[in-house]
Amino acid sequence: MITVRTPTPLDTRPMADLLNAIIKEGGTTALTRPVTGQDIADWMAEDADRSAWQVALDEAGAVVGFQWVCPKDRLPASACDIATFVKIGRTGLGIGSALFTATAKAAKALGYHWINATIRADNTGGLTYYQSRGFRDWRREEGVALDSGLVVDRISKRYDI
């Protein structure tokens, strides 16, 4: 049984640990440097009145995923950007679906009309996840350099709320 709720400051460290494992494995996120619980807390505080965060917990109360939407300068005011992270080895078990149900409701309550997801073109799992939620392609960027120097293509997908 997965529980989804708004994260608290006590969740930021386990959220960072989950994300760091994904960053270390590589291949799915544009993030290339480890993050701290304070980084997560700082991100949560940015544009707090226009952002929504969700955390997924397993039966034991451990963080198994998190997701957020926030405004981005490159998007119109009617749109927000989304990021999703699920613990390695726990994908495909409904965690992302549970997170997105809560996140889409929160985005609508914040007044957004659509959600943008920008995914590395080589992240087939991420592309499949957003496609299965009803996102559709609307933009492609080629040759985007990550902080690590790796160059990737990125696909942006849109979900109308």
> Tens digits of per-residue pLDDT, 12-39?
999 999 999 999 987 667 777 899 999 9
The domain that holds 64 is classified in CATH as 3.40.630.30
Quick one: tokens of 12? 């930021």
What's the pTM? 0.91
Whole domain around residue 73: which residue ranges? Answer: 3-160
pLDDT averaged over the chain?
93
- Please tell me the total count of domains within the chain: 1
pLDDT in tens, 89-99: 877 678 999 99
Closest C-alpha among 76, 126, 130, 77 to residue 103: 130
pLDDT of residue 36: 97
Average pLDDT over residues 35-49: 96
Instruction: Report the distance separating Cα 28 and Cα 147, nearest Å.
Output: 14
pLDDT of residue 89: 85
